[in-house]
Structure 1
């Protein structure tokens, strides 16, 4: 596994680095995990982006200390809009920008909790394009009128990022004239892009919770993300 450790304000943090097979320099992408942490799915997402030509780093936000303590601190940071987790994501960006094989363009991808971090960082001026997937809109949603370009995907049956989340994001981005591609898929719920490889007996629970992977919608969302990043990061 391509492990890497990079410096951050709260101390060194591990991550998963995926490198394209083609000759650089490449644009870079940071992948922000969901609440489950550094899963095989996060690594697959990173590998997929690298295969598409992006130098990709997924910071292990639970990688500094006991996992449960890191998890709670990260969740608190997500809702507070500040804290070590935001610093860690920015530090991951800085680490990639320091790589001579980085073209100088950096995108940001996130899922669920990770998408919440992405949306809060989108107006920071630090990223060139973002892809938040079924994340909660930030409390200061009006700040997104000054966002970098956004491609976002939601499920109409999502019980976490509920109905109206995608429309509210579309409205504020449109008001600011932000380049965007916001889509809500009618027949899926939360986490429809994340294939966690859950054993068959548990897929029923996943389906009841409205968090089931759905390949057709997931692949369409990926098509849109890669097309959008091709336009804004290359």
Structure 2
């Protein structure tokens, strides 16, 4: 087992004191009032690169915060879709460890410009507001308390919300996620039989089980219910290439439609245009592959 704790900022489960982190659905007063999304970029991502950050406007779109009814509460989410027409195919967008901040919102707007109903629910809402924390070390313990089962349920609620809006065609459903959300993308592809396609950006593929994360993508390869495209960096210090090869082998053995692309020399989070890890060419190629994958598998 390779120790990746010191390298991958989005790997919230590899902490030194994991035993003390157990699921908790009891919200403190501070957590209970967390009902809105972050404004701007998460504090832990500062300073934001002004030279490379991509900003997508809302011209021709309906975009903004919505509330999704879930099993026990409403969940804030960012939604973006074309202002006219519809119903539109649905793409769930799953956040990095930093929550639904400006970058994830911008990804939703990019998808909306392509004709999609893009929806990014805040996955950590019950555990705490990571957008206001200044360091990764402060964020990891909160994210490590988020159970996979809770995330799957909340994503199902997001699909129900989209379908009920009258503007979304939930029969054309896809999911994409980044870093922490990349791992979730693989898991959701094994969870929802109605999913048509998944695109996982540098999500962790293997690891030891815990109460909150009992299985990892390599463990559920045989259960995948939709084709998944994996986009990974060849120089990612947090996701060893042997785990990428293990995922490829597991998908092939199970006869699943998976394509994993490794961009040589690209680090972790190469799509994050607001961070030093951004690499323009792999990001551009990855985005083109994402759009092609959606169309190839009927999400258009």
Once residues 65 and 247 of structure 2 are traced to their aligned partners in structure 1, the CA distance between those partners, rounded to angstroms, is 35
Partner of 2:70: 8
Once residues 234 and 184 of structure 2 are traced to their aligned partners in structure 1, the CA distance between those partners, rounded to angstroms, is 21
Once residues 63 and 71 of structure 1 are traced to their aligned partners in structure 2, the CA distance between those partners, rounded to angstroms, is 14
Mark the CA change 1:87 to 1:113 in structure 2 (over 3 Å): closer, same or farther. Answer: same
- In structure 2, stretches of 5+ residues that fail to align are 1-62, 131-137, 207-214
Question: How far has the Cα of 1:164 moved from its partner?
Answer: 1.8
Q: Does the 8 A contact of 1:74 with 1:85 survive in 2?
A: no
Once residues 171 and 99 of structure 1 are traced to their aligned partners in structure 2, the CA distance between those partners, rounded to angstroms, is 40
- Considering Cα pairs closer than 8 Å and 6+ residues apart, tell me whether 1 or 2 has the greater RCO: 2
Question: How far has the Cα of 1:37 moved from its partner?
Answer: 1.0
Is 1:114 equivalent to 2:181 in the alignment? yes
Structure 1 runs of 4+ aligned residues shifted over 3 Å read 62-66, 68-74
Aligned pairs for 1:40-119 within 5 A = 40-64=102-126, 66-68=128-130, 72-77=141-146, 81-82=148-149, 84-103=150-169, 104-119=171-186
Q: Which has the larger radius of gyration?
A: 2
- In structure 1, stretches of 5+ residues that fail to align are 204-211
Mark the CA change 1:191 to 1:170 in structure 2 (over 3 Å): closer, same or farther. Answer: same
Q: Does the 8 A contact of 2:127 with 2:143 survive in 1?
A: no
Partner of 2:270: 192
SS of match in other structure, 1:175? helix
Mark the CA change 1:87 to 1:74 in structure 2 (over 3 Å): closer, same or farther. Answer: farther
Once residues 139 and 172 of structure 2 are traced to their aligned partners in structure 1, the CA distance between those partners, rounded to angstroms, is 29
Mark the CA change 1:18 to 1:89 in structure 2 (over 3 Å): closer, same or farther. Answer: same
Partner of 2:199: 131
Partner of 1:231: 296
- Relative to its length, the structure with more helix (as a share) is 1
- TM-score under structure 2 normalisation? 0.67
Mark the CA change 1:225 to 1:108 in structure 2 (over 3 Å): closer, same or farther. Answer: same
Partner of 2:27: none
Q: Does the 8 A contact of 1:166 with 1:183 survive in 2?
A: no
Deviations 1:175-195 (A, max 9, x none): 222223210011111000111
Once residues 10 and 71 of structure 1 are traced to their aligned partners in structure 2, the CA distance between those partners, rounded to angstroms, is 24
How many residues in Structure 1 have an aligned counterpart in Structure 2?
Answer: 218
Mark the CA change 1:21 to 1:216 in structure 2 (over 3 Å): closer, same or farther. Answer: farther
